[in-house]
Amino acid sequence: MVNIEIFSTSVHNNVTDCRILNIMTKQQIDITTLRREYTQGGLSRSNLTAEPMELFALWLKQACTAQLPDATAMCVASVDDTGQPYQRLVLLKHFDNQGMVFYTNLSSRKAKQLTHNPRISLHFPWHALERQVMVLGKVQQLSVSEVITYFHNRPRDSQISAWVSRQSSRISARSVLENKFLKLKQKFLQGPVPLPSFWGGYRVSIDAMEFWQGGKYRLHDRFIYQRAKSSWRIDRLSP
Ligand SMILES: Cc1cc2nc3c(=O)[nH]c(=O)nc-3n(C[C@H](O)[C@H](O)[C@H](O)COP(=O)(O)O)c2cc1C
């Protein structure tokens, strides 16, 4: 039996001495007993659309209508130059038949990995609907003209924080960020905040998309669309 020990801790206030943890309480949860049945419905060939993006659009709409928190959040997997995969959540900001778009810092760890290897995998975990969607594809960096419109639609403070964060680089303390934020807020007091040269986005062109709907007795439904010359090959996969 696997038991997980959950410690609730209070962290010592001195940031240079993170090793000192003051253990306040200790609880045990037996995660082997955590399970539920998936009963919300199935997915059959008759539910599939010719284009995977049409089905994706329907499922995303249903996830938004069901008010799932961060329904547009997707896990992005990329690999470093040794083949080590990394994952992180980012927000999907646009999609159409050309692909799926997200925005990020172009000096970040993910950006470096995607420059080296543009292959990417995306994952949408819509637990409450007993669904997931997995995407395979390749990224292309967006042009400045594509990025600038979105950038200026962000709240002004988010535009400034894009200038503040050299994403994925080491920093000594949170105060470094906060001080820089205040300085840049003063600097960009008037007029539009310029687009940082190190901030942009990617379009993921889709090679494959897999739809998963939870089923009774763990007999889930899975369909994968894989790009074939001018259409999509669609296969049902065993759960
Ligand atoms: C719900 C959620 C949404 C996020 N959205 C974004 C995003 O749209 N763009 C982004 O660069 N980081 C976003 N992040 C932060 C990333 O998960 C990640 O920490 C950051 O991009 C650095 O990743 P990297 O060091 O692997 O490049 C989000 C995090 C969460 C939890």
CA 77 / ligand 1 centre spacing (Å)? 12
**Residue 113 Cα distances to 77, 93, 163, angstroms:** 10, 21, 21
**CB burial of residue 146 (10 Å; 0-12, 13-18, 19+):** middle
Answer yes or no: is 31 within a domain.
no
Summarised one tens digit per residue, pLDDT across range 89-103 is: 999 999 999 999 999
Query: Which ligand 1 atom lies nearest to the CA of residue 104?
Result: 11
23 pLDDT higher than 50: no
Answer yes or no: is 20 within a domain.
no
14 pLDDT higher than 60: no
Domain count, the chain: 1
For this structure, is 166 an active site residue?
no
Ligand 1 — pocket residues by CB below 6 A? Answer: 70, 73, 86, 88-91, 102-105, 108-110, 167-168
Q: Band the pLDDT of 26: cuts 50, 70, 90.
A: low
Answer yes or no: is 1 within a domain.
no
Answer yes or no: is 24 within a domain.
no
Answer yes or no: is 18 within a domain.
no
What rounded mean pLDDT belongs to the chain?
Answer: 91
Answer yes or no: is 180 within a domain.
yes
CA 89 / ligand 1 centre spacing (Å)? 5
Q: What is the CATH number of the domain that holds 146?
A: 2.30.110.10
126 pLDDT higher than 70: yes
Answer yes or no: is 221 within a domain.
yes
Answer yes or no: is 34 within a domain.
no
Instruction: Name which residue sits closest to atom 6 of ligand 1, judged by CA.
Output: 90
Domain extent, residue 139, equals 39-167+175-188+197-237
9 with 26: CB under 8 angstroms? no
**Could you tell me the pTM of the whole model?**
0.90
